[in-house]
Structure 1
Amino acid sequence: MKRWVAGSLSIALLGTMLAACSSNNDKNSEGTNAASGGNNSAEQPAEATTYPIKTDKTLSYWGEINGQLIGVKESHKDIPFFQEWQKKTGVPLEFTEPPTGQVKEAFNVMLASGKLPDMVEYNFIGDFPGGPEKAIQDGYIVKLNDLIDKYAPNLKKYLQENPDIDKMVKTDSGSYYAFPFIRGDEYLRVFQGPIIRKDWLDELGLPVPETIDDWTAALTAFKEKKGAAAPLTFNSKPRFFNDGGNGAFMGAFGVTRGFYQEDGKVVFGPEQAGYKEYLALFRDWYAKGLIDKNIATADTKSVDGNIASGATGASIGNAGGGIGKWQPLVEAKDPKAVLIGAPYPVLKKGDTPKFGQHNTAYASEGTVAITTQAKDPELAVKMLDYGYSEEGGLFFNFGTEGVSYNMKDGYPTYTDLLMKNPDKLAPAQAISLYARGSYNGPFVQDKRYAEQFFALQTQRDAVSTWQKTDAAKYQLPPITPSPDEASEYAAIMNDVNTLIDEMSLKIILGTEPVEAFDKYVEKMKSLNLDRAIEIQQAALDRYNSR
């Protein structure tokens, strides 16, 4: 596995170009249907592909290994799904994996090197400041309109039949830039939230917490009566409280870690008074030992370890990769242990949470772009289009028939190799070995994966609980700055986000008082945060006009 070393200068310089690879594309008039806003099937019928493709070419593929497989497999080449994907499409691949938790840095270093693979899997909207328009204009990734028209009949058909999703996966100018990951059902768009030890609550005579006061009482009891050294912990990689930015805990105070909209107006959470209240709460919890003392550096391994050992009684996680992975770990130590999903916290009992995890149908994670250095873009497109075919959809969601699933009365049913793995892997890990249904990639996710993936009733109940928020009302669609604004926006937000991370840690860990928040907001303003909000507002307005 190739290793990358990132310098801060590279990150600052090239972070802007990152998001460009996968979100919306640019104005490069590579001669497609940008003006008309989509593919024009009447002009050029897409060419059907017969799989496996006969080729003597090997394509290069850059992407992160799924977090469920860290410590299980070292490289994509060792993962059965990726081995079989090459066989089914007929296209040999050479893989490069960036270090977990250093994907943005590794991508920036790769761009700086001037040597690009044929394909890159990356969150181009979220992690490439400037968006895909900028990436295309700067010559990193290919505008895909013509290629999709000619060589991707499966994706083309899906987008024509789903215009609302088609609107999401292209740029303001109508450019396609990546093969998208699409959550094919509303049920699939909520999967994360607070997780807590229900057996501990029952033993202590406590209700499932709904309010912040309830949470304070529960965490205090976990510490004092269950001996939990880290009553609440969560992943802080790649940034502090990484899994909580969508509204866990801070959402009780009416904010998130990023941008959202209220009545069509873009708002930035960390400058709001509610963020100060959240910092004050976490500062108090940290001082009282209710939060993991190593929270600033906690990663997935440390979170798993704390939960397995009984040092932790609550966290933020997914129904699959959280409850599904952690339940057997806690049961191994305590057969009576039960993890459940708790509601997103509110201040007043009975209120509906304003925020919570909710993805749009198009999720920018797991999208795959073709670079301008691709030796055979047509071959890459044909390979990637496989995931949107009927056969490819089954493969991506369920793996290989007869190995990871069997068709029973027309229903693709996971085998015991995944659900009762002989090597004691949790279903979340086993599925990730043989399929991609449990995370993301260039395909349309099938609800039937979740119906089985969430094998435990507690998992299914958790999703139902986490769905009860108003998050969809406030979340922004997949928007990006215009290419002209990209560098300016990226420079501003690089500085602002660095400042917010510094502020959050210092206040929560107690090295600065809560009152320091006000000076930090002034500093955000001096870094031109208002201009960044203005750019985001313009992007939202453009999206609404698509």
Structure 2
Amino acid sequence: MVVVNPKRKNWFSAVLALLILSTILMACSSNGGNEATNAESTKAPDNGAAAPEENGSTYPIKSDKTLTYWGEFPGNLVGIKSAHEEVPFYQEWQNRTGVKVKFTAPPANQTKEALNVMLASGELPDMIEYSFLGFPGGPEKAIKDGYILRLNDYMEKYAPNLVKYLKANPEIDKAIKTDNGSYYAFPFIRGDESLMTFQGPIVRQDWLDELGLPVPETIDEWTATLRAFKEKKGAAAPFAVNSKPRVFNDLGNGAFAGAFGVTRNFFISNDGDIKFGPAEPGFKEFLSLFRNWYAEGLIDKNLATADGKAMDANIASGATGATVGNAGGGIGKWQPLVTSNNPDGILAPAPYPVLKKGDTPMFGQKDPAYTPYGMVAITANSKNIELAMKVLDYGYSDEGHMYFNFGQEGVSYTMEGDYPKYTDLLLKNPDKLAPAQAMSLYIRANYSGPFVQDKRYIEQYLQLQTQRDAIGIWSKTDMDKHQMPPVTPTVEESSEYAKIMTDVDTLVDEMTLKIILGLEPLDSFEKYVEKLKSLKLDRAIEIQKAALERYKNR
């Protein structure tokens, strides 16, 4: 189910922008169906529904102008619709705001490249949906170069709903602006804790029950479980995980490595210092564990190349009994595949592993309230700034909040008391569309956008009890203490940082794979760490520390 994410300049740009991530898959996967993007509503109401009232604009707006909008086409709708104009959500959005919008989408999986071409051409639309936290030099550089508008002078008058929300939520206000205080985009906000965690370890519960095994919690229990899956269930790939776009893609949030006190990213240590996990001693212990598992046949032999389709096949066939995935795009997607081959098959969540039973995992997947997905900037030379501001501000109004999260009353939802209940059009689609696909036709709650996500979306999207249980189980970590906020280097630091981390990430990926596959001895780890230092990793850490201090002072 879940939401990752696809709008990354590279793996570590995303880490820089918001530490994790982990991307999101059919509605809640790293592919943009959120868990890929599960978010939520305002601070005040306990149900997370009510967004601020619209103070400055009356919708629909009376305008004969047409705005232009550039952004990715929803991944869940590929093969179902071919353009934004064909999607009911975008059709009705224009009706409700009273403003016509002409959409342009970049080619699939070529967003960054297409953006660069467009920026170089000088022919820019009024609005661009893109993660400008990952822009070279960050949002301030995009503003300085004349690509996007600094919104500060326009917000009070033309975006009163967003302004009201930010005043009520100062921590989010702090996160969505730059170190210089510039507002640069209309943000996607996860409005409730329940929307921030959507990924973690998954295991075949029916196999555990059959073999008399507990749900594994410690590394030793995981080893015993995988051995039993191989020896007694005949699993050819007891543990498997997606390795696209990079090796062990879904382990970046700290699954398994976290048991040894590290993650694949920068993190804040127990003493408040910033560390880079792959350069720490705990990462060697993680590599040793996976090296041993691989040698013993407990890990998919095709770990270097496994993609989403390979994972689907492994799970469906029973070749794999354990993985790391999303509640929606993982459990929700794979459970029907398992059941089709084994009616008694059950995929269930397991906690993030620890070394000592009873310990709280140090790391785990948890997105911050503000993530880089779904933000929309207004271009600096737009001739329709005021109108674009009003259109984007709609998503933070009461009516817009309901529309972005639930769609049209009587079509995609009905009110049961004061609760907006999704109709069968979304949850049991007559055209046999998966809920993630049907939702993407009528709402944006399952793949981000310029609005505040409502927890009542996720309450209904997670239809299986195992999915709902997963959120609670995977949330029990100390990630809040160790996660980096969405810091950015300065314009001056940006090029230097990007070059360092490109070289660092390449080396980390290369050595991670070589050591686990047995192509390099484990003892080569120390030389590898020295190589990281020669690539100026310490300078990258200095840049991160400075960025964190600036963030604290915003």
TM superposition score category, shorter chain reference? 0.7 to 0.9
Deviations 1:117-158 (A, max 9, x none): 332222333x33432122212222211112222211111110
Shift of 1:108: 4.0
Aligned equivalent of 1:436: 444
373, 384, 390: which is aligned to 2:392? 384
Q: Percent identity?
A: 68
For residues 364 and 314 of structure 2, the distance between their equivalents in structure 1, rounded to whole angstroms, comes to 24
For residues 72 and 231 of structure 1, the distance between their equivalents in structure 2, rounded to whole angstroms, comes to 34
Aligned equivalent of 1:327: 335
* RMSD (Å) for aligned C-alpha atoms: 2.6
Shift of 1:175: 0.6
User: What's the TM-score, normalizing by structure 2?
Assistant: 0.85
**Residue 466 to residue 78, structure 1, CA distance change in 2 (3 Å):** same
Deviations 1:197-222 (A, max 9, x none): 11121122221111122222222333
**Residue 337 to residue 518, structure 1, CA distance change in 2 (3 Å):** same
For residues 481 and 226 of structure 2, the distance between their equivalents in structure 1, rounded to whole angstroms, comes to 31
Shift of 1:112: 4.5
For residues 479 and 17 of structure 1, the distance between their equivalents in structure 2, rounded to whole angstroms, comes to 11
152, 157, 169: which is aligned to 2:159? 152
120, 132, 152: which is aligned to 2:139? 132
Task: Give the secondary structure class of the aligned counterpart of 1:343.
Answer: coil
Aligned equivalent of 2:416: 408
Deviations 1:63-97 (A, max 9, x none): 33444445544443443323332332233334344
For residues 373 and 393 of structure 2, the distance between their equivalents in structure 1, rounded to whole angstroms, comes to 17
For residues 475 and 294 of structure 1, the distance between their equivalents in structure 2, rounded to whole angstroms, comes to 31
Q: Answer yes or no: is the 8 Å Cα contact 1:190–1:463 preserved in 2.
A: yes
525, 536, 539: which is aligned to 1:531? 539
Shift of 1:534: 0.5
**Residue 17 to residue 288, structure 1, CA distance change in 2 (3 Å):** closer
Q: Answer yes or no: is the 8 Å Cα contact 2:204–2:345 preserved in 1.
A: yes
251, 260, 263: which is aligned to 2:258? 251
Deviations 1:312-361 (A, max 9, x none): 22222222222222222322222212111110011121111000011222
Shift of 1:308: 2.9
Deviations 1:463-518 (A, max 9, x none): 11011100001111111111221121112112211222222222223332222222
Q: Answer yes or no: is the 8 Å Cα contact 1:325–1:427 preserved in 2.
A: no
Aligned equivalent of 2:42: none
**Residue 134 to residue 424, structure 1, CA distance change in 2 (3 Å):** same
Shift of 1:179: 0.8
**Residue 90 to residue 299, structure 1, CA distance change in 2 (3 Å):** farther
Letter in 1 for 2:204: R
For residues 240 and 431 of structure 2, the distance between their equivalents in structure 1, rounded to whole angstroms, comes to 27
The answer on 1:227 being equivalent to 2:234 is yes
For residues 405 and 538 of structure 2, the distance between their equivalents in structure 1, rounded to whole angstroms, comes to 42
For residues 167 and 141 of structure 1, the distance between their equivalents in structure 2, rounded to whole angstroms, comes to 20
Letter in 1 for 2:482: Y
State which drifts further: 186-195 or 500-509: 500-509
**Residue 85 to residue 321, structure 1, CA distance change in 2 (3 Å):** farther
Between the two proteins, the alignment pairs up a number of residues equal to 509
Deviations 1:235-291 (A, max 9, x none): 333322222211111111111111111233211111111112222222332333333
User: What's the TM-score, normalizing by structure 1?
Assistant: 0.86
Shift of 1:169: 0.8
**Residue 122 to residue 107, structure 1, CA distance change in 2 (3 Å):** same
Aligned equivalent of 1:209: 216
Q: Answer yes or no: is the 8 Å Cα contact 2:55–2:161 preserved in 1.
A: no
For residues 300 and 231 of structure 1, the distance between their equivalents in structure 2, rounded to whole angstroms, comes to 16
- Structure 2 unaligned spans of 5+: 1-8, 18-53
Q: Answer yes or no: is the 8 Å Cα contact 2:15–2:266 preserved in 1.
A: no
Aligned equivalent of 1:544: 552
1:94-173 equivalence runs, <5 A: 94-125=102-133, 127-173=134-180
516, 520, 524: which is aligned to 1:512? 520
For residues 14 and 406 of structure 2, the distance between their equivalents in structure 1, rounded to whole angstroms, comes to 34
Shift of 1:390: 0.8
- Structure 1 unaligned spans of 5+: 1-10, 21-45
Deviations 1:387-444 (A, max 9, x none): 1111111111112211111111011101112222233333233323321222321111
Shift of 1:103: 3.7
485, 488, 503: which is aligned to 1:480? 488
For residues 153 and 227 of structure 2, the distance between their equivalents in structure 1, rounded to whole angstroms, comes to 59
The answer on 1:193 being equivalent to 2:223 is no
**Residue 429 to residue 123, structure 1, CA distance change in 2 (3 Å):** same
**Residue 16 to residue 476, structure 1, CA distance change in 2 (3 Å):** closer
Aligned equivalent of 1:30: none
Letter in 1 for 2:549: D
Letter in 1 for 2:144: Q
